Amino acid sequence: MPKGEIFPAEWLSFVDPETGVEISQLTNHKGHSHHLYFTNPGWYEGGRKLLFGSDMNDRTNLFCVDLETGEISQLTDLDQPPPPGETSFLFGSVNPTRDEAYFWHGRDLLAIDLGSLEERKLYHAPEGFMTNITNVTADGRHVCALVFEDLSDRFEVDLLHGYVGFEEYWAARPLSRIIRVDTMGGAAETVFEEDYWIGHVNTSPTLPNLLTFCHEGPWHRVDNRIWGLDLESGNTWKIRPGPEGEAVGHEYWLADGERIGYHGTDLNGGHFYGSIRHDNTDKVEAPFPHGSNHFHSNDLSLIVGDGSRDKPRLLLWRFRDERFEGPRVALTHRGSFHAQILHVHPRFSPGGDQILFATDAGGYGNLHLIDTPDFDSLPEEQGT
C-alpha cells in the first residue's frame, strides 16, 4: 500500500447496552490500529483529522482518519526493524503550529509534512541507544525526545509487549538523554543526561521552555517519579516529591500548560488523584474512589479512566467541592491491555467534547470515539 492511498470509511456505530452511550468505531481492519500515546494529541487540520498507527497489509505505518468523512489515508510506507529496534507510532507527536508530525523509524527521527507527505530525517540516535516518546514544544520550534542505552545484550528486552526487561532496566540505571531537535533545520543537542532510566518526556502545551520527564521503573521504588526541566537554563527539579514507597505516575500536562495531573497510591494502599503547578505550588489532591490503569483530563473537573482487565470499563470521575465523585460507567470497552498498542489509553479531545480510546474487543485493536456524556446520566460503578 503506497503512501497517499485513500481507503473508504470503516465506521461502525453501536450503543453500549448498559449506559446507552453511542460509540463510533473509526477503524475496522484485520490488523491492530491505535492512536498516539495518551499524552500526545493526534488531531490536526483544526481537529478534522486524527493520526493513528496501523498494521494494515502486515506492516506498521502511520495513517490518518478524516473525522468528517471517515476516509482513511496512508501517510508512510515503511518497514519496521525487528525488536528491540522496533519503534512504535505510539511515540509520535504533532506540531501544534503547523500540520507536521514526528516519529522514530528505528534510530532515525523523521518529520512528515501531513499535507504533501514529504519526509525529512531530522536526527539519528547514536549507536547503542534505544528510542522513546517524542513531544513538540508549544512554539513548534523543537521536537524533544528520549534515547537510552540499549541493554538488550545483557538481558531479554521487549518493552512494547509485556514490559519484558522493565525491572532489569530500572536496576541497571542506563545512560539516558533528553534531546532537543530543531524542527526546521534538524540541529540537535542533548539538553539533559544522567545514569537513570528516563521516560515520558512531555512538553508543556503552552510554555515552550518547559517539559517534564520521569524516572522510569516500579513507581514505589524510584527515587522520584515526576521531574521538571527548563530547556533554557537546563535546571531540573523534583515535581510533587513524596515519601519513600508511595506510588505516583501517568503524569500529563493539563490543558493550561501550567499544571500536571497524576494519580497514585499512598502508603496505606489508598488511591488518590491530583494536580500540581510545575513549580510545586497550587497542589490539589484528594482521595480517589476506585482504581484504573490510565487516566486523562483537560483539567481536574472531569477525569476519564479505562478500568482494569477484570473490569474493562470506561469510567468518569467529577471533581466537586474538593472531592471526587464517581466513578460513573460510560461504557464497557472489553479491552485486553495485552500489549502497549492495545492499552485503551482514553483521552479527551482538546475541546473536551469527545473521548478517544482503543480496544481490541472485536479481536483487533481499533479506534473508538464517543461524545463526552453527561456525568449525572451515567450509572454508578459497583463494587468500589
**What's the confidence (pLDDT) of residue 79?**
86
- Structural domain ending residue among the three candidates 206, 224, 242: 242
Pairing between β-strand 210-215 and β-strand 226-230 as defined by DSSP bridges: antiparallel
Looking at the fold, whether 45 and 90 belong to one and the same domain comes out as no
Distances (CA, A) of 195 to 43, 200, 211, 251: 35, 16, 19, 22
Average pLDDT over residues 327-351: 91
pLDDT-derived band at 341 (thresholds 50, 70, 90) equals confident
Cβ-proximal residues to 204 (8 Å cutoff; 6+ apart), any chain: 138, 210, 211, 212, 253, 257, 258, 278
Q: Is 203 helix (H, G, I), strand (E, B) or coil?
A: strand
pLDDT-derived band at 75 (thresholds 50, 70, 90) equals very high
CATH number of the domain at 203, please.
2.130.10.10
Flag whether pLDDT at 57 surpasses 80: no
Residue pair 47/40 in contact (Cβ under 8 Å)? The answer is no
Looking at the fold, whether 235 and 97 belong to one and the same domain comes out as yes
**What's the confidence (pLDDT) of residue 72?**
96
Looking at the fold, whether 310 and 163 belong to one and the same domain comes out as no
Note down the domain range covering 338: 1-71+289-384
pLDDT-derived band at 59 (thresholds 50, 70, 90) equals confident
Looking at the fold, whether 126 and 193 belong to one and the same domain comes out as yes
Flag whether pLDDT at 348 surpasses 90: yes
Does 111 map to a domain? Answer: yes
Mean residue pLDDT across the chain: 93
Looking at the fold, whether 87 and 229 belong to one and the same domain comes out as yes
Pairing between β-strand 100-105 and β-strand 93-94 as defined by DSSP bridges: antiparallel
Cα distance between residue 254 and residue 311, in whole Å: 27
Looking at the fold, whether 135 and 230 belong to one and the same domain comes out as yes
pLDDT-derived band at 308 (thresholds 50, 70, 90) equals confident
- Peptide bond connecting 327 to the previous residue in cis, omega within 30 degrees of 0: yes
Residue pair 248/239 in contact (Cβ under 8 Å)? The answer is no
State the cell numbers at 135.
513531544
Q: Is the pTM of this model over 0.85?
A: yes
**What's the confidence (pLDDT) of residue 384?**
53
Flag whether pLDDT at 107 surpasses 90: yes
Flag whether pLDDT at 250 surpasses 70: yes
- Structural domain ending residue among the three candidates 224, 242, 260: 242
**What's the confidence (pLDDT) of residue 1?**
58
Looking at the fold, whether 102 and 238 belong to one and the same domain comes out as yes
- Structural domain ending residue among the three candidates 184, 210, 242: 242
Looking at the fold, whether 31 and 105 belong to one and the same domain comes out as no
Q: Where are the alpha helices (DSSP H) in 164-309?
A: 166-172
Flag whether pLDDT at 30 surpasses 90: no
Cα distance between residue 147 and residue 162, in whole Å: 20
